Amino acid sequence: MPVLHHKRYGAGQPVVFLGSVASTLEMWEPQLNALSHSYDVIALDHRGHGESPLIDAPTSVAELAEDVLETLDQLDVERFSVVGLSLGGAVAQHLSEHSGRVERAVLMCTAPKFGEESTWREREKLTREQGIAPMVDAISGLWFSKEFAQQQPATVDRFRTMIAGISGIGYAACCTALAVFDRRTSPALPVPTLTIAGDQDASTPPDVVAQLGSNSLVVRGGHVPTIESPEEINRALIEFLG
C-alpha cells in the first residue's frame, strides 16, 4: 500500500487523527490548528478518500489500520496517540488493541459495531454503481445538528462539497470494513481511552460511544462535532493527552 495522504504540523508527542468514512483530513482543521502548538499532529486520509490512493477492492478495518502503520513507518513515528472518529474510531480501536504502538486513544462518535451488516452492503452496492452522489444528503444530515445547519449554512455546504468529492469506489470499499467490524465481545482496550459523543448523533449516540470506555464526554453536535464544538473538544484532547 502506498503512503496515505497526510498533513503534519507542530512538534512533540505524535498524535494521529483518523476521520469518518466519506471525509478527508479537512474535518480535523480546528484540532490541527489548536494542538499543533504542543504536539506533532498527523492527519491521514483513508484509502480511496481525499488524496490517498484508490484501491478498487473490499477492505477491512485491519487493512485500514495497516495502511496507517505503514504510513507512520515512513514518517519515522513509532509510538503515538490516536484520535479516531466513526470509521477512524474503528481503526483506532484496532490499532490500540493489536499494534502495541498506541499510547492513548480518543474514540469519537464511533462504536464497537456499526448497525446492521445488510445496511452497509446496500450502501456499498449503491455507491459502487452510482458514485457517492445518492448518499450526500444522508451523510451530511447525520454530521451536523439541525440547529447548526440552520445557523452555519456555508460551513455545512463546504462539507457537503467535501463529501460529494469522495470516490464512490473508495466509499464502497470502506463500507465493507464497517459491515463486518464487531468488537462487542472483545476485551477493554489496553490503553487509556477517552470517548467523545455528539448529543444529537443519530448514528453513534452517546450510550453507544460510552460502551468503549468509562472516561466519557458528551458535546453539542451530530456525528462530526469536531466542527460544531471545536473548543470543547480541543480542551478535552489537550487535557487527556497530557
- At 174-200, the pLDDT tens digits run 999 999 999 999 999 999 999 999 999
Q: In the chain, where are the structural domains located? A: 6-241
Q: Rounded to whole angstroms, what are the CA distances from 115 to 45, 106, 119, 174, 209? A: 23, 21, 7, 14, 13
Instruction: Write the CATH number of the domain with boundaries 6-241.
Output: 3.40.50.1820
Per-residue pLDDT at 48 exceeds 80: yes
Report whether pLDDT(170) > 80: yes
Confidence of residue 55 (pLDDT cuts 50, 70, 90): confident
Residue 1: predicted pLDDT: 58
Q: CA-to-CA distance for 47 and 143, rounded, in angstroms? A: 21
Q: Tell me the average pLDDT of the chain.
A: 96
* pTM above threshold 0.85: yes
Of 2-6, 35-39, 167-171, 215-219, least confident by mean pLDDT is 2-6
Per the model's pLDDT, the better-predicted residue between 218 and 55 turns out to be: 218
Residue owning grid cell 474535518: 27
- Say whether pLDDT at 234 is over 90: yes
